[in-house]
Amino acid sequence: MSNQQRTFLGHPVGLYVLFFTEMWERFSYYGMRALLVLYMVDFFKWTQADASNIYKWYTSLVYLTPLLGGFLADRYLGNRMAIIIGAILMSIGHFLMAFEDIWIFYSALGFLIMGNGFFKPNMSVQVGRLYPQNDPRRDGAYTIFYMGINLGAFLSPIICGALKETPGLGYHWAFGAAGVGMVLGLMVYLFGLPFIKELPSDAVYEHPADEGGAKADQEDHAMTEVEAERTPSVFPSLASISPAVFVMIGIATMVLSPILGKAGWIPKDNVVALEIAAGCSFFAAWILSKLSMAVRDRVLAIYVLAVFVVFFWGAFEQAGNAMNVWADQTTDRYLTQEAPIPSPYPDEFVDVAEQGLWPTVKKTLANLVATNPASTASFQSINAAAIVAFAPIFAWLWVFLAKRRVNISIAVKMAIGVFFQGIAFALMIWAATYENQSSSTNLAALPDGFFQKDSNVLHFYDAPDFKEDDDAAVAKHHSGELEETMIAHGGRLEWDESSGQMKMTGVLNANHRDRLLRATVPQSYVKEIWELAKQSKKAKEDATTAGKDEFTFKYTIDELPNGFDARYFAGFDPKEFSFDEDTRTFNVSMKIDDKEYKQILASGANPVFRESMNSLFVASAAFKVSSWWLLWFYVLCTLGELCLSPVGLSMVSKLAPKKFATMLMGMWLLTSFFGNFVAGLAGENWEKLAPTEYFTYVTIAMAGAAFVCFIIAKLVTRMMHGVK
């Protein structure tokens, strides 16, 4: 391959091709990620825990499959073909997200996971291969590359968020926009291939004479790979047993995790994650067994720092999960005026065809710059905007310090990054104290479905999700047979029988309020709506069998529950769903899935309890906190990210031996797999804890990890054998 490179602003032109390719790919990823949890919670009506579980596995697996993608690229496909395959698979996945069916949703996630596995590690490796060994421009190149990532991450939440907020468009148009971004990324890469010229693996950077070349080489020398293969380990005993240690860790994890799962000490899906960790341990041992001398030291250094990076991503990736929910439900998103009193009922359905194309376009454009309210997704752009603003400063800073022989080691940079992430969550503890204010309302008696355990804190039996093959779920509702109960509002909702007062601290969000309301629905009404949903499914199947696109049927219920409220049907298309209260008849021309079932169910909630909950919902909205908290939170996260993420990518490209370069980049991306898994695991507890508690736990974990990383930084630096 030719090593004649055209340059622009001191870097190969190929870097800018990769910059724009990655920009569009990240546009698609972050546009989708900014909406994913909200989509599951608001659209599918899932609980926060269930949404976090899917988010956990999706955002984790997109960083596990790069290990396979890296292996196939190294052995069979090559970087270029792997990137093209990955881009095609992800394009398919994003466009599938534009459809509503739940199984299409799962299929879309599968395509995205596999596509990312081919795409992600190979893009990062190609950046490193544009530069010779020990080239000081490489850190700057990865920082520029990182700016491309974040330019896409800045634009996508704003654009996708505007589409989601536009009446008549919503989530599926937003996901379609993400698909368009991925196709643009693929086109940029295909047309830019002639400019991507990778250098031979033995190419070595030569210092210009005016930079004191020979003297610099003597004083600040980083071994080439050939030299490292002949240099003894700085910890020979540790290095020699390291493959066996990783094998033993893998065996212990593989054996103990199913035992712990069977005993009920850990959830079953966590057992799967631990088994994956065992497999990674075996793979890490295999790579080490193929290496020796200083080369093995360098790979061990990658593994050690990976542990602390897991802590970082475990906190950082709360952005798409718990922090996204915080922005949606607990942040005052009206930036230039006072927020109106919230409505407890769904928004009216808007038909785009009847509304017209131009009015829809105008509303979308208005939402792009809206400040009242700003879209929830747009807060995801703060981190990316800060990256674009601060990345050049950090790129200059590392070079400036290096020229003056002030080399902050990679390990110390990463410790600083973890520390900044801890400071960001410490700030959120302060923000949560402003949200944790009290409100109260009258309630003479608890409705069916609620009870208290050892205190005034309320627990409830959750209404069943709609599953066509599980009629037993309805029978258990309110029957006393349900074993698992839910804690209401993270333990912050109490009822005092003596005073007849319902007391609460913090903001009550609409999703949790509706979940509480559904717990009070009479069992007779639950059975009716369950049957309505089943009949809609059968009518849809019969129409499909008959080759028809449309169907209509009527369903009449015997008796409306006390306090029945048809305003919960406002979000349905009246052409597909309507209700005649005089005849108690539903007119249905749509398949009723779980999300519609839950919305219909809420119309039959206990009216007295509904009034109390709506009162708390409106009163507590005054406790939503300023958007400034999220702004400074993401700025602090950004400072930490710039100290850790681009530095880590550059470190792997410097330390990894050539024959394992892409696989080790895939191994490095596994830190994001486990970090995202931890983030999702934590998010499953978001509704079970007060925000002050949640943020405190994260802060303590980050502070501890940063402290340990600082302590071992010198030892890890010695294992790098001169790599700065």
- Which tens digits make up the pLDDT trace of 588-602? 999 999 999 999 999
d(CA 347, CA 570): 6
629 compared with 293, residue with greater pLDDT: 629
pLDDT digits (tens, 9 = 90+) for 212-226: 444 444 444 566 666
Whether the predicted pLDDT of 202 surpasses 70: no
d(CA 194, CA 506): 57
Per-domain residue ranges for the chain?
7-199+215-229+292-433+625-719, 440-623
pLDDT digits (tens, 9 = 90+) for 666-683: 778 788 889 999 999 999
Among residues 393, 396, 350, the alpha carbon closest in space to that of 575 is found at 350
Tell me, what's the pLDDT at 486?
84
The secondary structure of the chain in percent helix, strand, coil, rounded to multiples of 5, reads 65, 5, 25
pTM of the model: 0.87
Whether the predicted pLDDT of 433 surpasses 70: yes
Residues with Cβ within 8 Å of residue 440, at least 6 apart in sequence: 501, 502, 503, 504, 616
Helix, strand or coil for residue 577? strand
The arithmetic mean of pLDDT across residues 165-184, rounded, is 91
The arithmetic mean of pLDDT across residues 422-436, rounded, is 96
- Identify the band that residue 282 occupies on the pLDDT scale cut at 50, 70 and 90: very high
Q: What are the Cα distances from residue 230, in Å, to 105, 112, 242?
A: 52, 42, 19
- Identify the band that residue 109 occupies on the pLDDT scale cut at 50, 70 and 90: very high
**How would you classify the pairing of strands 553-556 and 501-505?**
unpaired
Tell me, what's the pLDDT at 216?
42
pLDDT digits (tens, 9 = 90+) for 554-574: 999 988 999 999 999 998 999
Whether the predicted pLDDT of 229 surpasses 70: no
d(CA 679, CA 688): 15
Whether the predicted pLDDT of 721 surpasses 60: yes
Helices first, then strands: H and E counts in the chain: 25, 11
Tell me, what's the pLDDT at 404?
80
Tell me, what's the pLDDT at 484?
67
- Identify the band that residue 133 occupies on the pLDDT scale cut at 50, 70 and 90: low
Decide if 521 contacts 604 (C-beta within 8 A): yes
Lowest-pLDDT choice from 116-125, 479-488, 538-547: 479-488
Residues with Cβ within 8 Å of residue 195, at least 6 apart in sequence: 6, 12, 13, 14, 17
pLDDT digits (tens, 9 = 90+) for 48-83: 889 999 999 999 988 888 878 877 887 888 888 888
Whether the predicted pLDDT of 143 surpasses 50: yes
d(CA 382, CA 634): 6
Length of the chain counted residue by residue: 724
DSSP lists the bridge partners of residue 713 as none
The arithmetic mean of pLDDT across residues 291-302, rounded, is 84
Tell me, what's the pLDDT at 218?
42
592 compared with 356, residue with greater pLDDT: 592
**Residue written as token pair 């599953």:** 467
Whether the predicted pLDDT of 192 surpasses 60: yes
Whether the predicted pLDDT of 374 surpasses 50: yes
Q: Of the ranges 13-17, 86-90, 650-654, 659-663, which is most confident?
A: 86-90
Tell me, what's the pLDDT at 1?
39
pLDDT digits (tens, 9 = 90+) for 252-264: 999 988 888 887 7
458 compared with 268, residue with greater pLDDT: 458
Among residues 24, 36, 640, the alpha carbon closest in space to that of 376 is found at 36
Burial of 531 (0-12, 13-18, 19+ CB in 10 A): middle
Tell me, what's the pLDDT at 171?
92
| Superfamily the domain 7-199+215-229+292-433+625-719 falls into | MFS general substrate transporter like domains (1.20.1250.20)
My answer on whether omega of the bond before 373 falls inside 30° of 0, hence cis, is yes
Tell me, what's the pLDDT at 120?
79
Q: Of the ranges 36-50, 193-207, 393-407, which is most confident?
A: 36-50
Q: Where are the alpha helices (DSSP H) in 405-522?
A: 410-435, 472-476, 510-518
Tell me, what's the pLDDT at 182?
92
d(CA 567, CA 168): 19
pLDDT digits (tens, 9 = 90+) for 485-535: 788 998 899 998 889 999 999 999 999 999 999 999 998 899 899 999 999
**Residue written as token pair 């007849």:** 500
- Return mean pLDDT, the chain: 86
112 compared with 452, residue with greater pLDDT: 112
